[in-house]
Amino acid sequence: MQRIFADVVVSVSELKKNPSSVLASADGMPVAVLNHNRVIGYMVPAALYEAMIERLDDLELVEIAKARSVGGCAGKSG
């Protein structure tokens, strides 16, 4: 059975009828979109998507900083 990572689930047919209403009913959270009872994608409000991208960027910067500090070359002079 496929795991669904959203509390709100809609079919493609429902989504086609009124996408704005679907997002509004999700109250800012992700919406799983189903086709023949299988998740084909997730729809997220712009603010949530932007926050997710910011978080991923932050995590990437943390990993870069960790890698540099382990290498021992960050902040040291000759």
pLDDT for 71: 77
Instruction: Evaluate whether residue 76 is within a structural domain.
Output: no
Q: Comparing C-alpha atoms, which of 21, 17, 20, 13 is closest to residue 37?
A: 13
Report the number of distinct structural domains present in the chain. 1
Residue 36, domain CATH: 3.40.1620.10
Percent of the chain with pLDDT over 90: 87
**Could you list the residue range(s) of the whole structural domain that residue 43 is in?**
8-71
pLDDT digits (tens, 9 = 90+) for 15-51: 999 999 999 999 999 999 999 999 999 999 999 999 9
- Write phi, then psi, for 47 (nearest 5 degrees): -60, -40
Instruction: Evaluate whether residue 44 is within a structural domain.
Output: yes
> 48 CB contacts (<8 Å, ≥6 apart)?
28, 29, 30
How many Cα atoms are found within 13 Å in the side-chain-facing hemisphere of 68? 9
pLDDT at residue 73 greater than cutoff 90: no
Instruction: Evaluate whether residue 2 is within a structural domain.
Output: no
β pairing state of 8-11 and 31-35: parallel
